Structure 1
Amino acid sequence: MYGHYFGLSELPFSIAPDPRYLYLSQQHREAQAHLLYGLNSDGGFVLLTGEVGTGKTTVCRSLLEQVPPQTDLAFILNPKCTAQELLAAICDELAIKVKGGENRLKLLTDAINSHLLQAHGNGRHTVLIIDEAQNLSSEVLEQIRLLTNLETNRHKLLQIILLGQPELLDKLNHPELRQLSQRITARYHLAPLCYKEMQAYIAHRLAVAGIEAPLFKPASLKKLYKITRGIPRLINVICDRALLGAYVQRQPRVELKTLNRAAFEVLGQPDSNRYQRPLAWTGGLLLIGIGLLAALHFWPTPDIHRAESRPADEAATERVASLSMEQKATDDIWQWPATLTTDVSQIMAYQRLFALWGIEYQPAEHPVVCRFARSQQLDCSFQDAGLDTLRQQNHPAVFRLTRQDGNAIYATLSHIDEQQARARLTIGDQVKTIALTELERHWPGSYVLLWRPPPEYQDPLYPGSRGQAVNWLERQLALWQGRAPRTEVRYDEQLENDVKAFQRSHGLTADGIFGPNTGIYFNATRVLGLPLLNREVD
């Protein structure tokens, strides 16, 4: 449900071990290297352990995509069985036919040994992977060890990879299993992610699912790490629930309160004594869906048309004025029609925002705002910043206002008059003019704005980048510096230094990378014909 709302191609936080979503932190790379060693070595045991949910199975699934063509693989997922049942499962995995007889255990062992000899003679390598190996009894582990006794003068014929929780390490330390423990040629223990790894992990999964916007506010991420201690499976479950909660509440990103509610529903424990009972998200989904559909189909859609002959910002201003039906300005931003719900106000706020860019936005046809923006050569930028920062960025923005009674509404900030210290907002179909001090007093600390990336821009530009976006950036910086532009350039040291100079001139971090944040300031100061909050600013 929330995937469509956020513009995701699929749900990013499934707990299924999909190798596409594998985030290779340094330790995950090392774990994968150990397993690859096990696939290509000449026999013995390879051991990978880690706490529940740290990614052992996902690493192993990724390994399966790298299996050499000459390898025969047996993968046992549920090893809580007897020695005979395990040997039978291995025979099924390797398609080994076993004749009937009284001593079933011996027949299975002989059949496996015969198959391994034949496979070796044919130039094949056989690997057995056992997941959840901590569930194996000592008797079964000893039987597995006996399978590795079959060998030639130079090679063992079976390679075994054991994946398990830390209890497996304790079990292997028992005296009766010392022979098996001595045959382990490679060991690795997966620890939970650190905070920076967790941030990269979440960003990676969102990117695989089709969106690069930060859907979690910084305070939410910090609390998430405190709750999960960096365990990927817990991160997945809580993130999934939190995005569902943000969707139900029509939030553009996951707020701290929403994250706390998600953790409560997943773990069943309150965060503090002041924790209130969470919203019944799942029970309210049907009503929310019906309400949104009603808003899309029955709320009167403003008559927005693209202007062809007038400047975009001037024409958009006139359209917004006409859409407001000449509503009388008021200083009270908390007064809005009772029929104007959070959902409807959000739809109308983005319609106003696109109108300022000279674009008609029909949410019934394009329900995902940022995906529609990209189709119009624009992009969304989610910002955690104060009103002063937005005034410097000088772009119209959509933000959320929440009253003390909990009711929330979305507004579009379309104009700031710095001389009069007043701001113009659109809420629903009403235009309101308020003092900047009043707006600052109620500023939520986050907002969404649109910006126009360079042509063919896909990702942030950095040293080594090439293409039309880099050529465009070179021309704009040459105009800024009053020099002749170079042609067909790459992102070299000179261009990097020019970007750093521009960043320093606007109080930005001078990292020499041209990404969304630098691009927004570039739009506001170097690109003509774009909508600005303060049109008197040069």
Structure 2
Amino acid sequence: MYLEYFQLKQEPFNIAPNPNLMYPSSRHKEAIGYLRYGLRGNGGFVMLTGEVGTGKTMVSRAVLGDLPDSFNVAYILNPTLNNIQLLQTVCDSFEILITDKNDHKALSDALQNFLIEQDKLGQSSLLVIDEAQHLSAEALEQLRLFTNLETNDKKLLQIILIGQPELQEKLNTRELRQLAQRITARYHLLPLTKDETFEYINHRVIAVGGNRPLFDKKAMTTIFQQAKGTPRLINLLADRALMGAYAQGRFFVDNKMAKQAVYEVLGSNLGSDVSHKTLKVAVLSIIAVTALITVITRNFFTQ
């Protein structure tokens, strides 16, 4: 709605994980580097973790977009599956034809034959599992068994696990220690800093054809504080703030508009900050009044 008004080619703060709009922060570049290193190493597992909305999916897509054509890639978005369903999904993702999809052995044999044949053809096979923190211990163990198939110098199946911090906690358990030992590269993605948030917002505007900044520093500070550096929340707040500027016929977002966006998106009128300040003032007032009463009382009894 506001694209023509701000002379933009597309929405700068769309929450879809578009690698073309990725801001190359030091953290995101490190994450991409770790994933690429892990895939070059011909090991079994590579792991990327981070809190909700920190850009894990975008990082993984940036890596997958640079893979050579020699990679067969299977991508699983919903890993809340039992063992047989997981096998079925993996085979379907690799487009492996199977007559009996309810037979565990048939599925396992078909997957192994596929991996062996692809290796003979000079092809590598990669399985990417998003939201991997939802995988059960049994499913994770089955994934480890998938990677048992290997030649003298490499695994026939490489796996990227992408998930929230709970995934790290699962892999720290004793029952999954064998899988944890097979992770050749891992990276935990942190939120953006304040300076990175400023650069992120301006980068997204420029990436879609913007020729000038659309947010003042106070507005970006408010967005950073309320989003806590989380890119997905930054996108939601910045997009709503731009809508507010458009509705008011303004050509940039000021702090008042940013605060209004916070209220509309998060349902908070910066209440947490206001409450903290109010509480602090109240406590200081109580201390002052108490001190005053103490002085008056002491003076009264000493007269």
TM-score of the pair, normalised by structure 2: 0.87
- Name the counterpart of 1:133: 132
- Name the counterpart of 1:180: 179
- Name the counterpart of 1:442: none
Residue 165 of structure 1, CA deviation = 0.5
2:37 equivalent to 1:37: yes
Unpaired stretches in structure 2, ≥5 consecutive residues: 275-303
Q: In structure 2, what is the Cα distance between the partners aligned to 1:37 and 1:115?
A: 25
Which runs of structure 2 are paired with 1:259-278 in the superposition (5 Å)?
259-272=258-271
Q: In structure 1, what is the Cα distance between the partners aligned to 2:112 and 2:199?
A: 46
**Is the CA contact (8 Å cut-off) linking 1:75 and 1:129 kept in structure 2?**
yes
Which runs of structure 2 are paired with 1:117-516 in the superposition (5 Å)?
117-272=116-271
Residue 49 of structure 1, CA deviation = 0.5
How far does the alpha carbon of each residue in 1:207-246 deviate from its partner, in whole angstroms, 9 at most, with x for none?
1111131111111111111111111000000000000011
- Name the counterpart of 1:100: 100
How far does the alpha carbon of each residue in 1:98-124 deviate from its partner, in whole angstroms, 9 at most, with x for none?
1227x6122111111110011111111
- Name the counterpart of 1:461: none
Amino acid corresponding to residue 108 of structure 2 in structure 1: T
Amino acid corresponding to residue 260 of structure 1 in structure 2: K
Pick 1 or 2: higher relative contact order, CA cutoff 8 A, min separation 6.
Answer: 2
How far does the alpha carbon of each residue in 1:42-86 deviate from its partner, in whole angstroms, 9 at most, with x for none?
131001101111100001111121011211111111111112112
- Name the counterpart of 2:289: none
**Is the CA contact (8 Å cut-off) linking 1:39 and 1:67 kept in structure 2?**
no
Amino acid corresponding to residue 2 of structure 1 in structure 2: Y
Q: In structure 2, what is the Cα distance between the partners aligned to 1:40 and 1:229?
A: 34
Change (3 A) 1:94 1:242: same
Amino acid corresponding to residue 56 of structure 1 in structure 2: K
**Is the CA contact (8 Å cut-off) linking 1:41 and 1:159 kept in structure 2?**
no
How far does the alpha carbon of each residue in 1:339-368 deviate from its partner, in whole angstroms, 9 at most, with x for none?
xxxxxxxxxxxxxxxxxxxxxxxxxxxxxx
Q: In structure 1, what is the Cα distance between the partners aligned to 2:114 and 2:41?
A: 19
Change (3 A) 1:162 1:267: same
**Is the CA contact (8 Å cut-off) linking 1:43 and 1:157 kept in structure 2?**
no
Amino acid corresponding to residue 197 of structure 1 in structure 2: E
Q: In structure 2, what is the Cα distance between the partners aligned to 1:120 and 1:208?
A: 39
Q: Alignment partner of 1:128: what SS?
A: strand
- Name the counterpart of 1:47: 47
- Name the counterpart of 1:70: 70
2:23 equivalent to 1:23: yes
**Is the CA contact (8 Å cut-off) linking 2:39 and 2:46 kept in structure 1?**
no
Amino acid corresponding to residue 3 of structure 2 in structure 1: G
Q: In structure 2, what is the Cα distance between the partners aligned to 1:120 and 1:156?
A: 10
- Name the counterpart of 1:382: none
Q: Alignment partner of 2:98: what SS?
A: coil
Residue 264 of structure 1, CA deviation = 1.1
Residue 272 of structure 1, CA deviation = 3.4
Q: In structure 2, what is the Cα distance between the partners aligned to 1:11 and 1:155?
A: 43
- Name the counterpart of 1:352: none
Amino acid corresponding to residue 153 of structure 2 in structure 1: R
Amino acid corresponding to residue 271 of structure 2 in structure 1: S
Residue 94 of structure 1, CA deviation = 0.9
2:40 equivalent to 1:58: no
Amino acid corresponding to residue 262 of structure 1 in structure 2: A
How far does the alpha carbon of each residue in 1:297-355 deviate from its partner, in whole angstroms, 9 at most, with x for none?
xxxxxxxxxxxxxxxxxxxxxxxxxxxxxxxxxxxxxxxxxxxxxxxxxxxxxxxxxxx
Amino acid corresponding to residue 178 of structure 1 in structure 2: R
**Is the CA contact (8 Å cut-off) linking 1:203 and 1:212 kept in structure 2?**
no
- Name the counterpart of 1:279: none
- Name the counterpart of 2:108: 109
CA RMSD, 1 decimal: 1.5
How far does the alpha carbon of each residue in 1:14-42 deviate from its partner, in whole angstroms, 9 at most, with x for none?
00000100111111111101121233231
How far does the alpha carbon of each residue in 1:453-505 deviate from its partner, in whole angstroms, 9 at most, with x for none?
xxxxxxxxxxxxxxxxxxxxxxxxxxxxxxxxxxxxxxxxxxxxxxxxxxxxx
Change (3 A) 1:122 1:141: same
Change (3 A) 1:273 1:228: closer
Q: In structure 2, what is the Cα distance between the partners aligned to 1:100 and 1:241?
A: 50
**Is the CA contact (8 Å cut-off) linking 2:43 and 2:182 kept in structure 1?**
no
Q: In structure 1, what is the Cα distance between the partners aligned to 2:10 and 2:29?
A: 25
**Is the CA contact (8 Å cut-off) linking 1:47 and 1:184 kept in structure 2?**
yes
**Is the CA contact (8 Å cut-off) linking 1:38 and 1:161 kept in structure 2?**
no
Residue 274 of structure 1, CA deviation = 11
**Is the CA contact (8 Å cut-off) linking 2:72 and 2:126 kept in structure 1?**
yes
Change (3 A) 1:34 1:273: closer
Q: In structure 2, what is the Cα distance between the partners aligned to 1:171 and 1:92?
A: 27
Change (3 A) 1:138 1:248: same
Number of aligned positions between the proteins: 274
Q: Alignment partner of 1:74: what SS?
A: strand
**Is the CA contact (8 Å cut-off) linking 2:41 and 2:184 kept in structure 1?**
no
Q: In structure 2, what is the Cα distance between the partners aligned to 1:126 and 1:230?
A: 35
- Name the counterpart of 1:11: 11
Comparing 210-219 with 160-169, which one deviates more in the overlay? 210-219
Q: In structure 1, what is the Cα distance between the partners aligned to 2:163 and 2:211?
A: 34
